[in-house]
Amino acid sequence: MKLWAIALGLLAACTSAHAQTTVWRPAAGHTQMPIWPGAAPDAQPVPGPETDTRGALTNVTRPTMTVYAPKGKNTGAAVVVFPGGGFHILAIDLEGTEACDWLTSRGITCVLLKYRVPSIPYVWQCDCRPHNLSTSVPSLQDVQRTMGLVRFHAAQWHVDPHKVGVLGFSAGGFLVAEISTNFEHRMYPPVDAADKESARPDFAMAIYPGHLATDDGKLNPDVPVSGKTPPTFLLQAEDDYVDGVNQSLVYYTALAKAHVPAEMHLYAHGGHAFGLRRTPLPISGWPRLADAWLRTIGIVRD
């Protein structure tokens, strides 16, 4: 089953179980900030108003970021989080706020990005993969803009501008690879001084990523790995039948060929879309592995 179909099914199931829909708001003490001062570039029509149905957020036309300050000692690191959802919805809790809870508990500033969905051209492709990047890609525009904003506000948010990374799940894992390989050319005209800041992540974590491999087992040409790609952490289950373990394998191989430091963890069982929620399966302990990796690459120190 293709990821966009699963996203649609999830949204339908949530809607039937809970007819009342609401607009997502962060918990008290946190404020959403629009990432564009006016209308977002290359705006696309959506089928209705923005809604949040039990953590399935869709019809986002005004992307925002929400900053979660670290708890306890501030490491100076920051991570921008991209929830997944097949580019049709955002799993805003499972793969968003819960990730921020983990990161902030480790002394890391978390920036939760509510990027535009549905995201043309991704969601409407029958194989759920993008066209080439000569076309406008709203979700990538949102990611590039947010990376610049985090560095622009680094002093205000007590963040080291050289320790700004990304974390994404499923479709958000694709965005991790996309910004890791498409950071030099902005996909939109500069808006303000924030767009003069680098959009390159200093490190990247892709959790059960999708869309990285083509059907014939080659690297998706829209994620052109090079020696400039940042150190990367990959995690996937071999019984992930939504995206498939080949997504991580192909991307890891490209990273290795480019001599990019990378760490990949594959597990026999785990499926897809488990986020950070504990289960009896060993794969659910992956945050400990990510903690160790962040120390290994010098982002977090004991």
pLDDT score recorded for residue 45:
87
Residue range of the domain that includes 292: 3-296
pLDDT tens digits, 156-166: 999 999 999 99
- Strand duo 262-267 + 64-68: pairing: unpaired
β-sheet bridge partners, residue 219: 213
pLDDT score recorded for residue 109:
98
**Residue 92 contacts residue 130 (beta carbons within 8 Å):** no
Inside any domain, residue 181: yes
Q: What is the CATH number of the domain that holds 196?
A: 3.40.50.1820
- In this prediction, residue 86 has a pLDDT band, given cuts at 50, 70 and 90, of very high
Inside any domain, residue 100: yes
Which of 227, 266, 228 is closest to 247 using CA atoms?
A: 266
pLDDT score recorded for residue 135:
59
CB atoms within 10 A of CB 116: 23
Q: What is the pTM of this model?
A: 0.91
Which of 294, 238, 287 is closest to 261 using CA atoms?
A: 294
Number of domains forming the structure of the chain:
1
**Residue 183 contacts residue 219 (beta carbons within 8 Å):** no
Alpha helices in 193-297 (DSSP H): 246-257, 286-296
Q: Which amino acid, residue 8?
A: L
Return the ∠ at Cα 68 (arms to 36 and 42), rounded to 5°: 20
